[in-house]
Structure 1
């Protein structure tokens, strides 16, 4: 605690004696954090509550914002009240009121949707596929869709709702943007805050094909599967598309279960770590070529846009790109306030536009990992660095430990499987993950234009993929590792 802190060597305090150099900008940057936390907390309370409860919470918070703002305006020079603190409190209450009100309106709209009244019944729907399918343990796939029309003929009602379809024949490989019609059974929602689920009773009838935003990523996925099949053997054939693109279709159920038991399931989902590795590699390459700061930033921006184009502009990918960029900014600068303020802005925006997603486990994992990266990765790396340990190794270990510790409470609270060997497993695979992510993403981008070069890049991933599979298998077999329950019937 007594050692010097790294506030940023270029910080200069314009206020002279009253404000230490480099401190005032950080304090200003952090002012967005409290309002964002208030918005998130109010949204979390309103999610799952009745619309009237959310509306009442919004009224209380709005009244508190008015009181705090009025008090702030009326503070005199001799009053011992921090006007700035009252302003932040007023903003926090106002944003909390907005969050509660938005969620109350969404809950009301969900309750009025025609699918809600059809739970347990069968109906026809017209929907647009919004993401790629993912396999389920009981067989078949989960397909995210946006239902736009419920019913058919005279009973058809137009109303949008994002849901998940559990399906088997004919639903695999539908690119995002495909408009389909099908007969479905409406299932009970998992929680009162969730929309109903759908089980497909018929194969989809394609009404309209996808646009370029869906065809492009679908073609990239198909080509990467072909590249992996040519370059790799065994489980590595399915693991490469899974780790790089989140495409789990070629991964066996046994391997997926091993990754879940070992606490490595997050490696098969596109996250902020993917973007950090890819953009970080581009920054290092640009620096090695002698590019200036603007050149490196431009190269990183192009890489980030290219990553989204290759993987697909799904909501999870866009969130990963945002949080990954923030984490990268935290690692590349001594300033903590600005990346944290940017993260707060991302949380604020997502909480307003999609409250259910903002309070979901996936988004909380990304946010908690990125916040830990912003606040603790560099100090931890400095602490664990030793003369015999190179700086990059210390950075990798720090990122792995900090992210795992920060996300562990979310994993436990969400009921996701994790065991006592999860942290050692993540430490063991830490050196291999960036290799697969960077080389695999390059192979995915190169595949459509030069398959031979993509095969070489994919083949270079073989040792790292073997290590991932080996660690997952060993850890899953250790005592104490959780084992997924057998799939139920149907």
Structure 2
């Protein structure tokens, strides 16, 4: 595919778009369709790839051959990998239809923080099954529904045992089963050392926020900085959701982009070379991912944040689009279930909007004499809302009519809260008084964010329910 040229903008390199799209489509097919269909598509793609390679060896050259080779190779590789994954799941004892409805003892490893279910005293936990009836099995992902008591305080990396009732997966997402527990887990082992450190840092920061700020700002800050929403008020969470600001209640790709950008600017300002700056930034990203929790969704946010940074700070769209496509391929290769998750879809389309649409809007606004800073803020808010609205409506059936205004209103405070809050979380370990002062500095910004969410959500027809 040839590169598309946007008037007044840098040439947009779309050569990897077909391969990334093919990887996504075959992954969705492999998750939602029967294995036989996935295997058939993989077989056809393999034959196409072989024919194209043979034609190239014989000296044939056409403009479509590289595209066919890329698409065929991706579909074949991803297709056969998904066939193997599905076969792997079918061999797991929990996938046996005779065990459905039965109670069994399973060994589990927690892979993400427990999430409270709305209006109940139960939680949802992503886990990996390591044993069934005390017999080791090939690891498979599963979902646990359990009472909050004994389960809410679990952290990623912990191993445990539990008596559960087995049922089919709640949705097609490459999980082997849904496991319902009625009591607390047993034989709970301590998490890895790095998770213990992360838990300590999160707890200390949560305590710092409660001392330095009043409610509800004290519950919002840990979520925005470290992804800890345990103290976030339910009404505040609903206000942010109605106003189209729910992405700000927990760590997202935007947070990573801000932190990476601020760190790069600081390191380069201190005189470090490009390689040193990249190395330091990489180390900090790894540490931050551990603190926020190294779950697939956080890793996705980190990757998309880095791509978004390329789009916004470096402004080299020719490099940004291939980076996004490469990120899609790598993430789907490691976590194929992302292909059907709303969070991943929103991250991709929002990042693509920043790369493709936002620069065009900025140039148009600049031609109409809008100051660059305001033009960029408006372009980011409008582009992100434009491309993500269809996805939000598709999955939630709700349309926010105030999201652009709300996002534009809080744009100016997101970066200070993220940078100062993250700095406070680190400084709190060595000098709590300075960390306390930093958190106090961002109190007004947090208040403004809550104020905007409350006022926008209370407007008539702030959100329209479509179905």
Q: TM-score, normalised by structure 1?
A: 0.85
2:93 counterpart (114, 128, 147): 114
Is 2:126 aligned against 1:144? yes
Residues 49 and 193, structure 1, Cα contact 8 Å, conserved in 2: no
Report the count of equivalent residues.
457
Moved more, 445-454 or 242-251: 445-454
CA-CA distance at 1:464 after TM superposition: 1.7
Asked whether the 8 Å contact 1:178–1:206 carries over to 2, the reply is: no
Query: Would you say 1:161 and 2:143 are equivalent positions?
Result: no
Residue 258 and residue 121 in structure 1: after superposition, are their counterparts in 2 closer, same or farther (change >3 A)?
farther
Distance 1:449 1:211 in 2: 23
Residues 1:5 and 2:8 are matched in the alignment: yes
Aligned-partner Cα distance in 2 for 1:146–1:6: 46
Matched, 1:245 2:243: no
Runs of 4+ residues over 6 Å off in structure 1: 1-4
Q: 1:64-463 maps to which residues of 2 (within 5 A)?
A: 64-74=48-58, 83-117=62-96, 118-137=99-118, 138-152=120-134, 156-167=135-146, 168-195=148-175, 196-286=177-267, 293=274, 296-385=277-366, 390-415=371-396, 417-463=398-444
Q: Say which SS state the counterpart of residue 202 (structure 1) adopts.
A: coil
Aligned to 1:33, which of 17, 21, 24?
17
Q: Is there any run of 5+ residues in structure 1 with no aligned partner, and where?
A: 8-22, 77-81, 485-490
Q: Does the CA-based 8 Å contact 1:134-1:248 persist in structure 2? A: no
For 1:37 and 1:2, the matched residues in 2 are separated by 20
Task: Report the equivalent of 1:10.
Answer: none
Q: State the alpha-carbon separation in 2 of the partners of residues 47 and 283 from structure 1.
A: 39
Change (3 A) 1:260 1:58: same
Conservation of the 8 A alpha-carbon contact between 1:262 and 1:418: no
- Give 3-state SS (helix, strand or coil) of 1:382's partner: helix
The whole-number CA distance in structure 1 between the counterparts of 2:346 and 2:240 is 17
- Taking a change above 3 Å as real, the CA distance of residues 416 and 165 of structure 1, as seen in their structure-2 partners, is farther
1: CA distance, partners of 2:109 / 2:397: 29
Distance 1:37 1:322, change over 3 A: same
Contact 1:33 1:344 in 2 (8 A): yes
Measured after TM superposition, the shift of residue 268 of structure 1 is: 2.1
The 3 A distance-change label for structure 1 pair 480 and 150 is farther
| Counterpart-to-counterpart distance in 1, 2:224 and 2:155 | 19
Which residue of structure 2 aligns with residue 53 of structure 1? 37
User: Within 2, Cα distance between the matches of 1:344 and 1:398?
Assistant: 22
C-alpha separation between the residues in 2 aligned to 1:123 and 1:148?
13
Do the aligned partners of 2:126 and 2:142 also contact (CA within 8 Å) in 1? yes
Aligned in 2, Cα 1:281/1:388: closer, same or farther, shift over 3 Å? farther
Give the 3 Å change call, closer, same or farther, for CA 103–3 of structure 1 in structure 2: closer
Deviation per residue, 1:144-171 (Å, 9 max, x gap): 221111224xxx3523122232221011
Secondary structure, counterpart of 1:425 in structure 2: helix
2 CA distance for matches of 1:297 and 1:393? 29
CA-to-partner distance for each residue in 1:404-449, whole Å, 9 max, x for gaps? Answer: 2222222222236442222222222222222222222112222222
Maintained 8 Å contact 1:43/1:99: yes
Q: Describe the superposition over 1:155-209 as per-residue Cα deviations: whole angstroms up to 9, x where unpaired.
A: x352312223222101122222111111122243223445222222221224421
Quick check: 1:131–1:314 contact (8 Å CA) kept in 2? yes
SS of structure 2 residue aligned to 1:47: helix
CA deviation after TM superposition for structure 1 residue 73, in Å: 4.2
Distance of aligned partners of 1:295 and 1:354 in 2 relative to their CA distance in 1, 3 Å threshold? closer
CA 1:334 to 1:192, structure 2 compared with 1: closer, same or farther past 3 Å? closer
Cα separation, 2, equivalents of 1:4 and 1:347: 27
Q: Is the 8 A contact 1:261 1:476 kept in 2?
A: yes
**Conserved 8 A contact 1:260-1:418:** no
Q: Give, in angstroms, the shift of residue 455 of structure 1.
A: 1.6
